[in-house]
Every structure is written in structure tokens, then in C-alpha cells.
A and B are shown apart, each in its own frame.
Chain A
Amino acid sequence: MSEFIQIIVSGLSAGSIYALAAVGFTLLWQASQTINFAQGEFVMLPAFFVLGAMGLGAPMWLAIAVALGLSVLLLGAAFKKLIVEPMLPHGTLPLIIATIALGLLMKESVKEFYSAQGQPFPPIFPTEVVRVFGAAISVADIMNLAVSFAAILTLQLFLQRTRTGRCMQATAQNRGVAEILGVNVKRMVMYTFLINAALAAIASILITPIYLAKFSNGETLGLVAFIAAIVGGFNQIRGALVGGLLIGVIDNLSAFYVSSEYRAAAPLILLIVIIMVRPQGIMGTSEGRTV
């Protein structure tokens, strides 16, 4: 039983981080029909910003702030201006291919210019363990969960309770009407990209201490975020959250009770089952988007 609790908690912890990336995924899709196949690399890179800043002598907190700022600037604003805006008029598919290329570029650049070896990443939370009902729960897991939930909750409140947030919703749900009502549609879409970059940076800083900072981290992360978004319904923040948590837990359960050799298959099996049984996703509505 104590084992089971441990597995569930660490699964939820990892899952909540996947959810951050998955939420960003759905936001970009809703606001600008961007399916970002570089999302995994978006989560891989900010950890290297942190390492880079620390390498220059910055303390941890400053390095994190720098990484957040750089991410928002590069993975948010520059990504939208330099890649999405020029590619989107050519259609969704060329844009998807461009994001795949961007992902490769980011991955290979880190390998080439930083290191091909996994870099140790300093833990941001205490590495202690607390005993709950006999289970050893790591403080870092609890903190990861708390930070991810706080980020998603803040986002939800922003979207629902502020006028800017509602303008963003209007832009995502009915762009033509938002424009007719005088909403600054372009600015709203830009906000979405900035938010996605910030979420990716938070995910990066939370998840990298679990593994090492490595150029190839994005491969699994991107796939998992994509699957989490689809499983959840692709057009809902709540869905992406549920999808992320579910994958984190299933991944951990299968690694422990089945075999760690097959753990990578678990999210894919979940994806296939969901697509067969409930193609609109767990929380999704089949309407989604009309063209």
C-alpha cells in the first residue's frame, strides 16, 4: 500500500509537469492553429538557460529569472514573429513541418554548442522525504505538484476573471467575431505564445532535476505533452491537465508493476485506447473548432 501511494504521488508530480507543456500545446492550437512539434525542445532548452546563467556566476534564483525571461522572449515572442507569422498563411501543415525543423535545430544546437553529455541540474527543492501513512513521499514531488497546479490555476483565473483573459478566450473561440468587436486579436495571440513559453520554462525547471539536462530530453517530453493534450481533448485546459496527470500516473504504474522496459509504451497505448473509445478526448467536446 505504501508503495502504491509513493508511485501515485510521484506519477502525479511528473504528470503535473507534463500538463504544463500540454496546456501550452492546447493554448497555441486554440489561438493560432499552431501544433508545436518543438514543444518538447521548448521544455528542454530553458534548463540550459539556467545552467548557462549559473555558469556565468549567477545565483540560482537569478538564473531561473533569466531563464524565464529568455524563454518568454525567444520561445514566445521570437517564435511567433519569426516562424509562426511567416508560415501560418501557407497553412497548418507547413507550419507543423517548420516546428519539427525548429525542434531539430534546438536539439542539435544544444548538443553542438553546449554538450552532448547529460548535465547535472541542481535541485530547486529540498531532497528530503516525508513519511505519510508509511509511504516515503519526496518533498520535491509535492512541490512540483504544487507549483504546476498554482501555475495552471493562475492561468485559469487570468483567462476567466480578467477582461484581457476573456478577450483571449474570444479570440480562440471565434476569431472573426473578436475582430469585429474590436478585440486586438494579434496582441491576444501574442499573449498566448508568451504564456506557452513561460509554462514550458516552468516545466523545464521542475522536471530537469529529476533527469539530467540533456539535449535529447525534448523527445519524450514533446511526445508525452502531445499525447496528454490529445487524451484530454486538445481544446481544453482542464483536459490537458487531466491528460498530463493520467499519463504521469499510468507511466509510473506500468514501470513498477509491468516492466520499466515497456514504460514508454504506456502513454501510446493510452492514446490508442482514447482515440478508439472517445476520440474527442476525456474532457473535449467533439465540436472543437469549425473551419
Chain B
Amino acid sequence: MLELKDIYGGYDKITILNGTSFKVPRASITTMIGPNGAGKSTVFRAIFGLLNIRSGQILFDGQDVTRHTPKQMINHGVTYVPQGRNVIPQLSVWHNLEMGGVTARDQSKVRARMETVMDQFPMLREYKNRKAIELSGGQQQQLEIARSLLLDPKLILIDEPSIGLSPNLVQDVFVTLQRLRDQGVTILMVEQNAKAALAISDYGLVLELGQTQMHDDASKLLNDPKVGQLFLGGHFHEEEGAA
């Protein structure tokens, strides 16, 4: 459903993506792992029209979407949940959720959809009049995921959903992602907690220096001794840098 073909791109004169290529099949979870600065977040920015792509092609549902703007990508059915806390701090939970549907032409449908999404995340209904900044980190993460579901996306790009969350909250987020996958949503995820992420994923891919080094079933990557040594080791602590 999503295909990157030989993408080159970066910021100013720095090249981050050096011919990145991979495919993501429909209704699956794919986890991207790799060392610091491998370009994982940059891949998301490239797909979502936030990066200067020098060459290569991005296909979504067979359509060329290379260099499409974020708004166009949203209209294609793609949403992006970036790393870190990304709520609008002073707006209420309700209005944050509403922002997820800001591009929709028919706002009455957005209302109905907000109710559906809140059914999936009952916490949001309880706190709907609170300012988003007053939510805990885990609640904010849920709000972000809920917001990304507002337009019923086909593909969700989600960057480090577990950052700053306690282990049981991480599990909650992963369960949510699996549930979405079972409903037919495609998920491409970057996750520092690689072992746990691969365990719930269908596919895994290893990105190094902006190139796809390995791409296989998640279970095979989990059992691959080389991957294990590099990325899944107990003491290995990996985070994406400023990129």
C-alpha cells in the first residue's frame, strides 16, 4: 500500500536518506528500527511532505504522492503522530480532537466521528473539557492517537509512541495499535523499545545511514542474532537525535 523507491533527501545540504526503499503491506504493523541518526523520523517527514526530497518516488495506493503537502497526505488517508508530546496545550481535549478533522469539508461528520473515537478512548470523554496540557503524558499520547484516527486514516505513521510512558501504558498503546491493525489500518512505527514493538509487529525493517539494511517478518528479526546484538540488547539504549 505504501512504497518508497530510492528516496534521497535531507535538511539543507545534509543528506539523511540515501536511497531508502521499502514496501509496507496493507493492514499490517511494520516497525522501523536502527541506530541514532539512521533517518527513521526523517522517513516519516519525507512521506508526509515535510522534507526536501531530492530524488526518488513515494507511492501510496498505487498513486505517486512524492512531495505532496501534509494536507494532501491527510486527504489521501495518511496521518502522522510525531515524536514527543504534540497536543495543543491550551485547547481543551475536545478541541484538540476536533483539530484532527480540521481538513474535512463536512464538519458534521467530524462531530459524529469524534463521538466514535471517544467511545474507543473513554478517558477522553471524561476529560473532554480539560486543557490538554493538564493531562498526564500517557493521556496526552492517547489523545494524539485518538486525534490521528479522526479522519478514519488508512495509514498511520507513529514515531516513538512509548516515549515517557510507564510499561503498562506502553502495553495499552500497543494493544490499541494492534486493534487498529485488525480493523484494517496500516501502521508504520518507529520505536526505541524495539523488542516490544517487534513482538506486536508483522514486519520489521532495519534502517542504517538512510538505507534499508534488512526487511523481514518481525519474528525473524526478533530471532536474528545480529539484530539482537545491535538493537535488542538489554543495555542498548537507542534514541533518535535532533533529526
* Chain A residues at the B interface, C-beta cutoff of 8 Å: 163, 166-167, 169-170, 173-174, 176-184
Contact = CB atoms under 8 A, between A and B. Distances in A.
A163 B107 contact: yes
A180 B107 CA distance: 19
21 contacts: A163-B98, A163-B107, A166-B91, A166-B99, A169-B90, A169-B91, A170-B88, A170-B91, A174-B87, A174-B88, A176-B82, A176-B86, A180-B48, A181-B70, A181-B74, A181-B99, A181-B102, A182-B70, A182-B102, A183-B102, A184-B71
Dominant secondary structure of chain A at its interface with chain B: helix
Majority DSSP secondary structure for residues of B touching A: loop
A163 B100 CA distance: 12
B12 to A, nearest CB: 12
A170 B99 contact: yes
B177 to A, nearest CB: 19
Contacts of B74: 181-182
B103 A182 contact: yes
Nearest to A287: B89
A154 B225 CA distance: 64
B82 A174 contact: no
A169 B133 CA distance: 14
B86 to A, nearest CB: 5
Contacts of A178: 88, 99
Most buried by B among A169, A178, A179, A182: A182
Contacts of A163: 98, 102, 107
A164 to B, nearest CB: 10
Contacts of B103: 181-182
B113 interface: no
B82 A183 contact: no
Contacts of B8: none
Contacts of B90: 169, 173
B242 to A, nearest CB: 12
A28 B102 CA distance: 23
A30 to B, nearest CB: 11
A184 B103 CA distance: 9
A230 to B, nearest CB: 20
Nearest to B150: A181
Contacts of A169: 88, 90-91
A173 B89 CA distance: 7
Contacts of A173: 88-91
Contacts of B147: 181
Contacts of B86: 174, 176-177, 180
A100 B91 CA distance: 34
B95 A166 contact: yes
A179 B103 CA distance: 11
A167 B87 CA distance: 13
Given A176-B82, A178-B88, A181-B74, 8 more contacts: A166-B95, A169-B91, A173-B89, A177-B86, A178-B99, A181-B99, A182-B103, A184-B71
Interface in B41-67: 48, 50
Contacts of A177: 82, 86-88
B231 interface: no
B80 interface: yes
A178 B89 CA distance: 12
A174 B89 contact: yes
Given A169-B91, A173-B91, A180 B70 contact: yes
A190 to B, nearest CB: 16
- Nearest 9 pairs of A and B residues by beta carbon: A182-B103, A182-B71, A182-B74, A170-B88, A177-B86, A181-B99, A173-B88, A180-B80, A174-B88
- In this complex, the member of A163, A167, A178, A184 whose beta carbon has the largest number of chain B beta carbons within 10 angstroms is A163
Contacts of A181: 70, 74, 99-100, 102-103, 147
A180 B98 contact: no
Interface string B98-133: 111011000100000000000000000000000000
A163 B104 CA distance: 12
A88 to B, nearest CB: 17
